[in-house]
Structure 1
Amino acid sequence: MSSEPGARVFLHVGVPKSGTSFLQATLRANADRLAERGVWYPTQQHRGLFHAALELTGNHPGWGVPQQRVRGSWRGLCEQARRRGGTSVFSNELFSNVKAADVPAALAHLDGLEVHVIVTARDLARQLPAEWQEGVKHGRGLRFDEFLSRVLDADRSHTHATKFWRHQDLADILDRWGRHLSPERVHLVTCPPPGAPRDLLWQRFCSVVGVDPSSATIPEVGANTSLGVTAVDVLARVNRRLRKGDAPPHLRRTVKQVLVNEALRSDGSERVSTPESLVPRLEEITAEWVRRIEAAGYDVAGDLADLRPHLVSGGAAADHRVTPRASRDLAIDAVAVLTKEVAALRAEVRELQARSTGRTRSRARALARRVAERFRRP
């Protein structure tokens, strides 16, 4: 299939927790404005970026998505980019999880286009607690000190270490995707240090894509909720209880979207911070990344010094403990929020049932059953 002259595709492949949700929310909120300037950002879910990422990683079972729903998603996106011409931006942090052996086949669908790879990166001192918390949101129950001992083991032999570094080893991800492209088409965008202007990451990202950053509106609310240690403790307890039951794969999406982003987000307890004792180890890893990045000649938007560990002052210790009373009080608040959510969903279902006939009524009953199953205690 022929492509429009000058068509370009920018693949934003991660890393997770490096401002990806912020950038994606900004791209999504300004999709129409960007389209007017010749930049296409796909916003659909089905057959969209999420399904394309699941197809390339082969991890659709873990997300409870049938293979037939993701099959052909990546090819479909690439064909649309080819037909549209101009500039296309594909952004999903799960792309960082694509194996090196699978990258050539993924890029083959973009043959004939000007392909660029973008990797956003934040310093490890902030990445470690963010990734630990994300793991709890997705079903783990480790304390932060346990997580650190596993992922920072020199041999990286533990399963948690393997998973962490597969989508957090900055130099490896750049090489994994970038070895098939010329260095000037491989871009590292560094996350600004704490205290920098909120839109600086967006400005750096736009400088790579070739978009005027002032043409977009920055969303007011972030797309990813950071939790205090009490909320994480409650969530870890819920995860352990769910594992004892017959929890379907898609349940973790419900946990993250409803329990985390709605019921637990009001928690005001301390956030954990990386221990100062780990700084020398993190600086050693970062220095090796910088050496490899400079040797490869990749383009850098920002400053490589931004990758040096930035410790957050204060915060909870890595081996923190949460009192049962604090967890109980927050859990009660969460139950109240979830109760209201269930009541609202059931009211919506009843309204749909009252207005529906025939096949539509059957669909409403099926929805009611799914709602009941979602909130049923294991």
Structure 2
Amino acid sequence: MTKKRKVYLHVGLPGAGDIIEVALVRHREALVELGIDAPAKSVEDNFLSALELLREHKAWGFTRKEVEGQWAALCRRAWKGQGDVALSLPLLAAARRPEIDLLLDGLAGFQVHVVITAGPTDDIADFVERWSAAVRKPERLHVIRLEEPTPGKAWKAFGAVAGFGTASLGLDDVRAPFVRPVGSLDDARQEIERLARRNQSLERWRDESERKRKKLKRRLKVDAAA
């Protein structure tokens, strides 16, 4: 029986772990030598794929046509490789089950491992519950709790989970995520607008997570009293 190739899918949370997405793009050729295929050729590949899966393209100022087929294209590239696959889609941390199912459909045939990175005080219970149900087996969900949330530690920890060393894959020339070169004032304004929309989306997701946490806490109190 042919052994299934693995996919190590990083889904956030926002913070030091954001560097993983950019580092995978920067070192994609070197990673092949380490037995890891990183199918995203640019941060844009990941970003547009995430918008397509989340159906958030309008909120970010994109048309449906601009994002349609992005995730399928990324999956096709993953299938063309030979080693295990490393992907980072940080916007998907708060994806709901229909969106997760759509993502997993594209990775059918792989053994999918999900990696969540979080800071020392992040509340991740809701994210862990949702993604645990998706991957089904507990050993396929990896939570990296960064007590010292620095990009270097996040990158090294992800490499340890995915099975590659990062000593030769430095971050000195790795750009911060979501920062794009701009050639004009109009480009700069558009980039600022997109960053503002990203922050608004993340704030909405965090607010929703907090509401769910409080609701669950109230329910547990009622059950305990009964």
Summarize the Cα distance change of 1:224–1:13 in structure 2 as closer, same or farther, 3 Å threshold: closer
8 Å CA contact 1:21, 1:222 repeated in 2: no
Query: Please, which of 51, 54, 57 is the counterpart of residue 57 of structure 1?
Result: 54
Separation (CA, whole Å) in 1 of partners of 2:63 and 2:139: 38
Deviations 1:110-142 (A, max 9, x none): 121111000000023xx6xxxxxxxxxxxxxxx
* 1:171 corresponding residue in structure 2: 125
Superposed counterparts of 1:138-217, under 5 Å: 169-181=123-135, 182-193=137-148, 199-217=152-170
- Which is worse superposed, 30-39 or 20-29? 20-29
Deviation at 1:49, TM superposition (A): 0.9
Amino acid in structure 1 at the alignment position of 2:90: E
| Secondary structure, counterpart of 1:215 in structure 2 | coil
Letter in 1 for 2:140: R
Amino acid at match of 1:186: L
* Structure 1 unaligned regions, length at least 5: 128-168, 226-247, 258-284, 289-378
Report percent identity of matched pairs.
28
Given that 1:6 and 1:86 are in contact with CA atoms closer than 8 Å, whether structure 2 keeps it comes out as no
Mark the CA change 1:36 to 1:221 in structure 2 (over 3 Å): closer, same or farther.
Answer: closer
Deviation sequence 1:309-340 (CA, Å, 0-9, x none): xxxxxxxxxxxxxxxxxxxxxxxxxxxxxxxx
Q: CA deviation at 1:256?
A: 6.9
What amino acid sits opposite 2:71 in the alignment?
Answer: W
Structure 1 SS opposite 2:167: helix
Aligned residue number for residue 253 of structure 1: 191
**One-letter identity of the residue aligned with 1:55:** E
Q: Confirm or deny: 8 A CA contact 1:82 1:113 kept in the other structure.
A: no
Correspondence for 1:82: 79
Partner of 1:94 in structure 2? Answer: 91
1:5 is displaced (CA, Å) by 4.6
What is the CA deviation profile of residues 235-258 of structure 1, one whole-angstrom value per residue up to 9, with x for unaligned ones?
xxxxxxxxxxxxx9x95524578x
What is the aligned partner in structure 2 of residue 292 from structure 1? none
Between the aligned partners of 2:105 and 2:177, the Cα distance in structure 1 is 33
Kept after mapping to 2: 8 A contact 1:29/1:219: no
CA distance in 2, matches of 1:95, 1:200: 21
Q: C-alpha distance in 1, partners of 2:34/2:78?
A: 15
Which position in structure 2 is the counterpart of 1:356? Answer: none
Contact 2:152 2:171 in 1 (8 A): yes
- Give the partner amino acid of 2:5: A
* Residues 252 and 100 of structure 1: CA distance in aligned 2, closer, same or farther (over 3 Å): farther
When residues 29 and 221 of structure 1 are mapped into structure 2, their CA distance, relative to the original with a 3 A threshold, is closer
Taking the TM superposition and a 5 Å limit, the aligned residue runs for 1:34-53 are 34-41=31-38, 42-44=40-42, 48-53=45-50
Contact 1:38 1:86 in 2 (8 A): yes
User: Does the CA-based 8 Å contact 1:57-1:97 persist in structure 2?
Assistant: no
What runs of 5+ residues in structure 2 fail to find an aligned partner?
179-185, 196-212, 217-226
Question: In the alignment, does 2:71 pair up with 1:117?
Answer: no
- Kept after mapping to 1: 8 A contact 2:26/2:174: no
SS at match of 2:158: helix
Shift in Å, 1:224 = 5.9
TM-score (norm: length of structure 1): 0.44
- Matched to 1:115, the amino acid is V
- Name the SS for the 1:115 alignment partner: strand
Higher Rg: 1
Letter in 1 for 2:155: W
Q: What is the CA–CA distance in structure 1 between the aligned matches of 2:124 and 2:171, rounded to whole Å?
A: 27
Per-residue CA shift, 1:169-196, capped at 9, x if unaligned? 51211221221221001000111327x8
Q: Matched residues in 2 for 1:114 and 1:123: separation? A: 29
